Structure 1
């Protein structure tokens, strides 16, 4: 919370005014924001097909990494790997991952993938991108993301017909 106040150049008391639930509320809001932003960007890409959706999905995280000088990543992943807590943050993180996977799988099915390939490929996309974002942060490079998206694009093209 102190870092947020410092970054926002706001008094610490103001931070707690807007997030009276402290770190827990801030994390929940970050998950909600990331899910909403990702769904909106995915929807733009999905209109052009699953390859464009894949590129939209990865472009979000590339921008986050580059704009933050590799200090920021995906808040959904951060919440997902925390020790279990007594609030609904883990369920929110799981729901965000599921939502992204469902959107991608639907697009894959709409473009010729069978149900199994669509679900497995969508799950792989979300898992691979989330993992490579973490790798990019520690490597301070987008190399892992670039290589992963190239291979995922090849896979998407192989399971779809158009």
Structure 2
């Protein structure tokens, strides 16, 4: 059993807050309030301020996503895709369509004076596409098709999560899931 520290709770809270509000609308003060932590502890744990919190929140989201993808991909690319989609479905449904992806949230906002959160987001997207591409290639896709399809999957799901939030429905995710599964099956056949 993993013991979660106050710092871990702050990072998880920051990831949730970024996925709901975005980078610009999130402050250290709001993070402390959102996480139920004393304001002073945020400055203690994150002397680099908002930039450090954002980077660590993106890395946290990346770690969770890599874990879910890896578990699904162990059974093959179709199962990996299904696991990726199921993870996002749970996030949007459990949050009543208020939460999205903290990695995407950081990616679409212009960085203030430090682009470290943007670089962390790029690394996260690279991790996800690499895992997917490796699985697709291992199951018969050409390297080019594997890279293209992995990028398509990540881009499609990220955009579809935003659509689900706007529509307050998982219908866009259902449609995208079916189309992506067809694509995956066609390149590994």
TM exceeds 0.5? yes
**Aligned equivalent of 2:185:** 157
**1:47 corresponds to which of 55, 62, 74:** 74
**2:102 corresponds to which of 68, 75, 88:** 75
- Aligned residues of 2:85 and 2:173 also touching (Cα < 8 A): yes
**1:134 corresponds to which of 154, 162, 187:** 162
1:63 positional shift? 1.5
1:14 partnered with 2:41: yes
DSSP-derived class of the 1:66 partner: helix
1:94 partnered with 2:122: yes
Instruction: Deviation per CA, 1:26-55: give whole Å up to 9, x if none.
Output: 211111011111111111111110000001
| Deviation larger for 15-24 or 38-47 | 15-24
1:152 positional shift? 0.2
The gaps in structure 1 that reach 5 residues or longer are none
What is the CA–CA distance in structure 2 between the aligned matches of 1:115 and 1:5, rounded to whole Å?
45
TM-score (norm: length of structure 2) = 0.80
The gaps in structure 2 that reach 5 residues or longer are 1-27
TM-score (norm: length of structure 1) = 0.92
What is the CA–CA distance in structure 2 between the aligned matches of 1:113 and 1:43, rounded to whole Å?
18
What is the CA–CA distance in structure 2 between the aligned matches of 1:18 and 1:74, rounded to whole Å?
23
**2:52 corresponds to which of 19, 22, 25:** 25
1:135 positional shift? 1.2
- Aligned residues of 2:51 and 2:116 also touching (Cα < 8 A): no
1:139 positional shift? 1.6
Instruction: Deviation per CA, 1:112-136: give whole Å up to 9, x if none.
Output: 1111211111100000001111111
**1:103 corresponds to which of 122, 125, 131:** 131
Pairs aligned (count): 161
CA RMSD, Structure 1 to Structure 2 (Å): 1.4
1:79 positional shift? 1.1
